[in-house]
Amino acid sequence: MTDATPPVDDDPYLWLEDVTGERALGWVRARNAETAARLTGGERFDRVRDELREVLDSDNRIPYVRRRGEHLYNFWRDATHPRGLWRRTTLEEYRTAAPDWQVLIDVDALAEAEGENWVWQGAAVLRPGLRRCLVELSRGGADATVVREFDLERLEFVDGGFELPEAKSSVGWIDEDHIYVGTDFGEGSLTSSGYPRLVREWRRGTPLAEAPVVFEGKPEDVSVRAYHDATEGWERDFVRRNVDFYRSELYLRTADGLVRIDVPEDANASVHREWLLVRTRTPWGEYPAGALLAARLDGFLAGERAMTVLFEPDAHTSLDYYAWTRNHLVLGTLSDVKTRLRVLTPADGGWRDEPLAGVPEVGSVDLVGTDPHEGDEFFLDVTGFTEPSKLVRGVVGGQLETLRQAPAFFDSTGLVAEQFFATSADGTRIPYFVVGAHENRPGPTLLTGYGGFEVSQTPYYSGMTGRGWLARGGTYVLANIRGGGEYGPDWHNQAIKANRHRVYEDFAAVAADLVERGITTPERLGIQGGSNGGLLTGVMLTRYPGLFGAVVSQVPLLDMRRYHKLLAGASWMAEYGDPDDPADWAYLSRYSPYHNVHSGRKYPPALFVTSTRDDRVHPAHARKMVARMREQGHDVGYYENIEGGHGAAADNAQLAFKWALVFEFLWERLAGDQRR
């Protein structure tokens, strides 16, 4: 189907879009049984599953923390608590070998008491008192959550407190008696993407239906939300209207109404104390795409437009992230996909710019926490493909302190991490990382990537990949293809909508380069990706089948004709295009995997994995693709976890099982190593 006229919905597998329909779930259970019979029960599967569970449940993992006042908060899962504990401790305790944790919520106990399959989704703590929080719990790991108010002093849910039924809500504290709420208020209250279109200010003890509307977005928007900035001395309120995935409007709420902060819709604006920061996605006057700019908010609102350039990209360096401490701005940049950190400080009418001293130059450094309300503390996660993570604490201007060191979950002796560059079809150099032992080349190789939504793929340590793949002699490859953000917004903008073919050409170039370098062969090269990465591997299956020996597609988009009609799909039209527009369908139809798999063609073996409870990417994408491939007689497997949300697993047992299926499939297909 390649004509430019959108077809009528004559899809014979539309019935598989009925998520929990009896017929559809009967089909799912039959496919699950077939896949389990084929891939499980062997000695290797059992061993890999148990080893992965050991990694996930290890007591020696780093308990990552976020500071709220005097406490460090952590959410923890292990073998005894598969659904998890929300808990807290102090920095002094955290420095000890065995911290004394105060358990706030035992999700396993709560689930058992209430007969619900609760999965933790986070909590918003009220500032400045830190006495209350709004807890979000989902059934089976879905994006939709219930919201309940919890007392952090009495350690109990507040009887008659703020509470919302299951929905894709947004909530935030204003003060102890008021919150902002965006939720499903009934017909017309959600956008076409399924997110809140209205935001209300809800006062304690009053009916939610009577809460005044603060802002109303358009039905075609992605979402709207409001939030309160509780910074002492700078208290104020904002509303953000998300027009599409990359365009938004930010408003300051004043006594006279909403005042728009007049920056380009595709720029990201944020406020800290007196400072307005603007991150550009496309050129804005004299300022290039990918820059970070600063101005005093009061002056900007008064019409002043002179801004200070805090960061400007070049051909090799882009801005990865930034975050405030109380008095400083920490920047994380990528230089050919390697992390570098700097500290910027407002001083003497300008900004002082210095390297963040003491940070090791390894694969990547992620800023996992700052507290802009309290002080200049920060937490870093320092990691690499063969270097287990370290949690490092620092205070700007002081020495770094390693608080926690993760254990080595696999033997990395002889493993090396290298960076290479492939040349794509249009001549663009595409970086990628290769991890493995030279003596195993050419051999079984697992290539992964993402290529979308300006998401950067950086080096990281994975006990799962290490145990399931590297330690067994496999080679692992991470591709930094366009569509991501590794070289700033232009790296992404080059590959959206009609230019999406560049994502797939880049990935194909990496695959070909791996063979040319002697790292692997097409028969021993497998690929894996999830969500947008599942679309990536689905396209590679149908457009470049001769490059691969096995394909894994997880929680994928695959039907690009109907993706915008399924769950949150409409929110991604800024990335992919509108299938109802004949011009957009003309290019979407050329790569939509569901419309480009045909009988009589030879495809590598494929495994599709998804979740019934994924309310972001509809499970019907994978269901329908597999049904069509089965009808055409292709070698295809399918597994759908009944729980799990977009991560396709609700607890560590399910996660270990899912990944053991994937690794078993890959080893069988790429090493010719059958389990029996």
Active site residues: 531, 646
User: Are the beta carbons of 171 and 179 closer than 8 angstroms?
Assistant: yes
Please check whether residue 331 is in contact with residue 338, taking contact to mean a CB–CB distance below 8 angstroms: no
C-alpha to C-alpha distance for 75 and 651, rounded to whole angstroms = 13
Nearest CA-CA partner of 617 in 646, 644, 643, 597? 646
Rg (CA), the chain: 25
CB atoms near residue 558 (< 10 Å): 31
Whose tokens are 């960076």? That residue is 419
Distance CA 631, CA 34 (A): 15
Q: How far is CA 144 from CA 137, 387, 452, 581, in A?
A: 8, 36, 24, 30
Query: How many residues can be counted in the chain?
Result: 676
Rounded Cα–Cα distance for residues 657 and 669 (Å): 18
Question: Could you tell me which of 613, 618, 612 has the C-alpha nearest to residue 572?
Answer: 618
Question: Distance (Å, rounded) from C-alpha 423 to C-alpha 508?
Answer: 10
Question: Quick one: three-class SS letters along 59-121?
Answer: CCCCCCCEEECCEEEEEECCCCCCCCEEEEECHHHHCCCCCCCEEEEEHHHHHHHHCCCEEEE
- Using an 8 Å Cβ cutoff, are 234 and 253 in contact? no
CA atoms of 379 and 101, how far apart (whole Å): 19
d(CA 543, CA 596): 8
With H, G, I as helix, E, B as strand and everything else as coil, classify residue 559: coil
Collapsing DSSP to helix, strand or coil, 418 comes out as strand
